[in-house]
Amino acid sequence: MGVCIKGLGETVPLGQVVFFRSAVALVPLALFQWWFDEFPRGLATRRPLGHVARSLMGACAMFTSFATIRPLPLAEATLLSYLSPVLLALLAWSLLGERLSRRRIGGIVLGLCGGAAFVLPAVSGDLTERASSALERGSRPPF
C-alpha cells in the first residue's frame, strides 16, 4: 500500500486517498456479513458514540500514516511504522504510568538501537559512495 501511496504522490489529494482506501475496505466487510447472513444486523451497536470516536481516531491514524509516506523515502516511513510499538510503550510509561519490566525495557532499547543503526549512517554522511548511489537509485520513482 505504501508503494501505491508514494506512486500517487501529489496528484491525488490525501483526503481522497484515505476515503477510497476506507471505501474499498467496506466491501469485504459487507461480503463477510452477507456470507454469514448477518447483514445489516451485524452493523448494529449499543455504543454508537464509541464507534464514532474509534472511527475518527482510525481516520486520523490513516491520515497521519499516509501523510508521512508521501514526503519520506519509503524505507524511512516503514521504519517509523515498525518503531510505533516501541514509541507507544514509552508513551504508555510516561503518560499512563505503565510499568516496564526488564524484558520490555530490553525490547525498547533494542528497537531504538535498530532504528538508530538504520538512520545514523545517512544522517552523519558516513555512507560509502556505493551505498549512497544504491540509496539514491532506490529512492527514485520507477517511472
**If you compute the radius of gyration of the chain from its CA atoms, what whole number of angstroms results?**
20
Instruction: Calculate mean pLDDT across residues 42-61.
Output: 91
Chain mean pLDDT for the chain: 84
Separation between Cα atoms, residue 52 and residue 58, nearest integer Å: 10
pLDDT of 127 reads 54
8-11 long-range contacts, CB within 8 A, separation 24+ = 9/70, 9/141, 10/70
pTM of the full predicted structure? 0.65
In the chain the first and final C-alpha atoms are separated, in Å, by 17
Please write the tens of the pLDDT for every residue from 91-141: 999 999 999 999 999 999 999 988 888 777 665 665 555 455 555 555 555
pLDDT of 75 reads 80
Query: For a pLDDT cut of 70, what percent of the chain falls above it?
Result: 84
